[in-house]
Amino acid sequence: MTLPEKRSPIDELRLRYEELAELAGSLAHEIKNPISVIHMNIDLLGEDLEELNAPETRRAMERVQIVREQCERMQGLLRDFMKYTKLRDIDLVSGSLNDQVEAVLRAYSAEASQRGIEIKRYLDGDLPYIALHSDSLQAALMNLVKNAMEATDRGGQILARTYVTKSGVAMDLIDTGRGVDNNTILHMFEPFYTTKEGGSGLGLPTARKTIEAHGGRIGVQSEVGQGTKFTLEFPALRRIVSGLNETEQDQPAT
């Protein structure tokens, strides 16, 4: 009789994490349905009260609005949480980090112009390709750019640059915004930690999980009143020799 292979403590921990993540995702999905029903019925109740058009319904309408807002907040939390729990295994293909960065910056160009924020880009044209999942990576980058926009006042700047490193490629996202203190830096990647009113506290944890699913890592430097710099690092699909790219390179998927 063959004995089952004994798992290492790390494998046991990973298995328990995956089981817990699956259970949490299923629970979030089950909670989502009754929240949707509550939201729908509170909307119908609000319509009924509006039709009465009586002065005494004003207070009831205010309470209906409070319930509606909290339902929307719960739905947003559940949506973000389900994204967080699903980020385990994603299919990666060869692609350009520059293309992903450029697509995200274009998406925010109109808002930046309205806010009076200048976006600068310094993208290395010789950047080697990385293994990526376009939708999830762009979502992570959009979260970082969105945070930078919200932290930067009119007249400020957001700078994105990509470059080659000894182990692969990297991207810096730098803003001249309000910055954060050391305590926030220590906790900003923890699920549900947030300094923003109404925030879910899952944006940055999900971004980090996405980047780690790409074999990368994310770091942050910030100073209150001076701005913030996020640095994302990814392994390249070809080796880097003494800081120079080799000639062989996988072509991106079309």
According to the model, what pLDDT value does residue 251 have? 47
According to the model, what pLDDT value does residue 6 have? 63
According to the model, what pLDDT value does residue 44 have? 82
According to the model, what pLDDT value does residue 228 have? 95
| Pair 188, 151: CB distance under 8 Å | no
pTM to 2 decimals?
0.65
Kindly report the backbone phi and psi dihedral angles of residue 5, in degrees, each rounded to the nearest multiple of 5, phi listed first. -65, 130
Nearest CA to 151 out of 185, 113, 183, 117 is that of 117
pLDDT tens-digit series, residues 161-181: 999 998 899 999 999 999 988
| Pair 132, 253: CB distance under 8 Å | no
**Token reading at 190:** 């923890």
Interacting residues of 202 by C-beta distance below 8 A, sequence separation 6+: 77, 80, 81, 83, 84, 191, 192
According to the model, what pLDDT value does residue 253 have? 45
- For residue 53, how many other CB atoms are within 10 A of its CB? 7
Interacting residues of 147 by C-beta distance below 8 A, sequence separation 6+: 203, 204
pLDDT along the chain (254 residues), means of 10: 57 58 64 77 80 75 80 70 62 92 92 94 94 88 92 94 94 93 87 70 84 91 93 79 39 45
